Structures are given as structure tokens and as C-alpha cells.
């Protein structure tokens, strides 16, 4: 209701507009950028803007400009995209009013939006698809200046930023085709002969006239043949070979990466094991740990003093013939007690019969410890 009242008042007061001002700014300005000093350009005082509750009336919900009453300037409130705002309409402008109260005053403001080269050309034909391959057919009887196809592109920018030019970047046979600079037409520059390859591939660059210039690239496939089956077989093989080569390259790179990773991992493990073993050997070599004697399980403390006085039982067995492989045990052969004397550690008392047996050189003896 408030906007309708303001619009009605503004219509009735068109004849009482106190002033108008116009600005020109480029699109895509950052938020908060300065548009102009509205107070100075309209001859208004900052106090008048505050006391008159100056405000902007646009007539719609889109507000790209805001008024700073403290400074008396217009600022960018929202980033302006000329293509979204005006499309292909030229010129593109914003129109709004500044309204003051007590007394009521109206000021008309017009802001011209200058186009910037912020869009690259878009190729409409030939259509670029990854799932299918489109090729233009050229008969082998084609003469000079034969029209093969036409590259169609558009630029959503306006003015000279939308002027497009076409250039042939790469070609299978540069001596066979050319591209029109202004219209994008692909024509033959000589007569086609039987020696020309069936599969021809052209890369065309479409550029605009902006600063800096933006461009787009399109690939055009041309088949030099007289029959469709010939073209189909040739380009089917071409597509299959390309996909096969791409897959083969990927798997080769993947296999190389896996093998390299495994090799490096093995080297790290081997080096770690060797370093660990070397450090363990060094630790054992430099250690000064005391040697703890080992006593057989049948040692027993006879005197209960906790010293090395122990009793040990053993058996002596001998074979009947040292040249025979079988061993005949005489059980028991003899038994004796080994007594460890504290005053002379390591001595033992044996029976004379056992001493005689042990002294015989040809009588092998097997000592069995229990």
C-alpha cells in the first residue's frame, strides 16, 4: 500500500521533479563500490538528506543501489550482471527516484550499465558429445570451395564484445580446408583426390573482440568418402582405438604405480629388519650382564646352607662293541654320588671301577643324566 501511494504521488508530481542525474558504471562491480556523489551532483545538503528521510524508490523488488545519507553517496548494494538484468537489450540502464519529505521532493537517477567481456563464446554447432561421434561427409568428387559445414557460435555479451572471429588451429591436412574468419564456414581450398585420408579432424577456435579476449574451441570431424558404410567403419574403428588406447594407458600407469609402491615397501621392510638386528647385536656385545650358572634339575641342597653343596646322581652305560651300531645298555651299570665340597669347588669322588671304565680307550661310554 505504501509503494502504491508513493507511485501515485510520483505520477502526480512528475511536473515537480526538482532534478535528475545520470551515471555510467561497468557491470560486475563489487558490493559497496562507489557509484557517485548524489548530494553534490544534485546540490543537496547532507542535513537535508537526513531531515528529509531521503530514500530510493525503484518500483520493483530489485534493489541494486543504496543511498548512504551520512556521506551523501550512492553505493553498489548487489552485484549487477548486465546479461541477467537486460539480456540482449541495448542500452541497459537502471532507473529509480530519490524521494525527500518535508517538503516532498523527487529526483530522477539513471545508471547506465556498461557491458564487460565476462562471457566466453558458446558453440552451438557442431554439437560436442562424448557418447557419439558426428562427422561431416565430403565426397571425393568435391571441387574447390566446396562447403563442408559451418561453425555456429554466440556470445551473450553485447557490443564489440560479442563480435566473433573463427580461426583454424589444427588440421589433419591444412592444404585441404580453410575456415571463414567472420562466418565460420569450412570450405575446401583444393580438389579432393583419392590420396586424401578418409578421417580428417579440424580444430577451430572461436574468439570474441573483448579485452581481454575470450575464446572457445570446437573439434570438427570430416569424412572424405562416397558411401556411408565406409564412413561408419572408419570412424567406429577410430573411436574404439582411441578408447582402447586411453584405457591401456591408464592401466599401465596404475600397474607401474602399484609395482613401485610394493618395491619401495619391501626395501623399507628389509632395511628396518637389518637395522633392528644390528642394534640388537650391538646391545648384546656392549652389555656387562653377570653370568648366571645353570644347575641340572636334580641338584638338591643336602646341608640346607644355601651354598653350592648339592647331590647329583648319574649312570654310566657302555656298549658291548664300539664297532657295532646298536647300543646295549647295562642298567644299572653303576651309581655314585657327586658331592660338591665348599672348600674345593668342582672336585668329585668317584668309584675306582668307574674310573677304570672311563680310562679304557676302546670302550665307548654313554653317560645318562637323570
- Order of strands across the sheet that contains 105-114: 19-26, 105-114, 92-100, 55-57
Radius of gyration of the chain (CA): 52
pLDDT of residue 127: 85
59-to-11, 55, 63, 108, 259 alpha-carbon distances in Å: 12, 12, 9, 13, 70
Pairing of strands 92-100, 135-138: unpaired
The whole-angstrom separation of Cα 185 and Cα 223 is 17
pLDDT digits (tens, 9 = 90+) for 298-353: 544 444 455 444 444 545 455 555 444 444 444 444 444 444 444 444 444 444 44
pLDDT digits (tens, 9 = 90+) for 22-72: 999 999 999 999 999 999 999 998 999 999 999 999 887 568 999 999 999
Average pLDDT, the chain: 76
Task: For the chain of 370 residues, list the mean pLDDT of each consecutive stretch of 10.
Answer: 42 59 93 93 90 87 85 93 87 92 91 93 85 78 93 92 94 93 94 89 94 92 83 59 66 90 93 88 66 53 49 50 46 44 43 46 45
Q: Which residues contact 36 (CB under 8 A, 6 or more apart)?
A: 21, 23, 73, 74
pLDDT of residue 363: 47
Q: Is the pTM of this model over 0.75?
A: no
pLDDT of residue 305: 52
Amino acid at each position: 500500500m505504501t509503494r502504491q501511494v508513493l507511485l501515485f504521488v510520483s505520477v502526480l508530481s512528475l511536473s515537480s521533479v526538482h532534478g535528475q542525474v545520470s551515471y555510467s558504471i561497468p557491470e560486475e562491480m563489487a558490493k559497496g563500490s562507489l557509484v557517485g556523489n548524489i548530494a553534490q551532483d544534485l546540490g543537496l545538503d547532507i542535513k537535508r538528506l537526513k531531515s528529509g528521510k531521503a530514500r530510493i524508490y525503484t518500483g520493483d523488488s530489485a534493489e541494486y543501489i543504496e543511498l548512504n545519507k551520512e556521506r551523501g553517496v550512492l553505493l553498489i548494494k548487489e552485484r549487477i550482471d548486465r546479461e541477467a538484468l537486460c539480456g540482449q537489450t541495448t542500452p541497459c540502464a537502471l532507473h529509480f527516484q530519490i524521494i525527500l519529505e518535508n517538503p516532498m521532493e523527487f529526483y530522477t537517477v539513471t545508471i547506465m550499465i556498461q557491458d564487460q567481456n565476462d562471457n566466453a563464446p558458446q558453440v552451438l554447432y557442431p554439437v560436442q558429445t562424448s557418447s557419439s561421434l558426428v562427422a561431416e561427409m565430403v565426397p571425393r568428387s568435391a571441387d574447390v570451395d566446396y562447403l563442408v559445414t559451418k561453425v555456429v557460435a554466440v556470445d551473450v555479451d553485447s557490443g564489440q564484445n560479442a563480435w566473433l572471429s573463427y580461426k583454424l588451429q589444427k588440421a589433419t591436412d591444412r592444404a585441404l580446408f580453410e575456415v571463414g574468419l567472420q562466418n565460420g564456414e569450412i570450405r575446401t581450398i583444393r580438389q579432393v583426390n583419392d590420396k586424401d585420408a578418409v578421417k580428417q579432424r579440424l580444430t577451430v577456435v572461436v574468439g570474441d573482440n573483448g579485452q581481454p579476449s575470450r575464446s572457445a574451441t570446437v573439434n570438427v570431424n570430416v569424412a572424405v568418402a562416397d558411401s556411408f558404410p565406409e564412413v561408419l567403419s572408419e570412424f567406429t574403428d577410430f573411436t574404439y582405438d582411441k578408447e582402447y588406447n586411453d584405457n591401456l594407458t591408464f592401466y599401465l600407469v596404475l600397474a607401474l604405480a602399484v609395482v613401485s609402491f610394493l618395491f619401495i615397501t619391501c626395501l623399507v621392510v628389509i632395511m628396518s629388519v637389518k637395522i633392528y638386528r644390528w642394534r640388537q647385536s650391538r646391545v648384546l656385545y656392549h652389555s656387562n650382564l653377570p653370568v648366571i650358572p645353570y644347575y641340572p634339575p636334580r641338584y638338591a641342597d643336602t646341608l640346607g646352607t644355601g651354598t653350592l653343596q648339592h647331590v647329583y646322581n648319574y649312570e654310566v652305560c657302555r656298549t658291548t662293541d664300539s664297532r657295532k651300531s646298536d647300543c646295549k645298555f647295562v642298567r644299572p651299570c653303576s651309581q655314585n654320588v657327586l658331592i660338591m665340597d665348599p672348600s674345593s669347588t668342582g672336585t668329585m669322588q668317584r668309584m675306582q671301577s668307574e674310573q677304570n671304565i672311563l680310562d679304557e680307550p676302546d670302550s665307548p661310554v654313554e653317560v645318562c643324566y637323570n
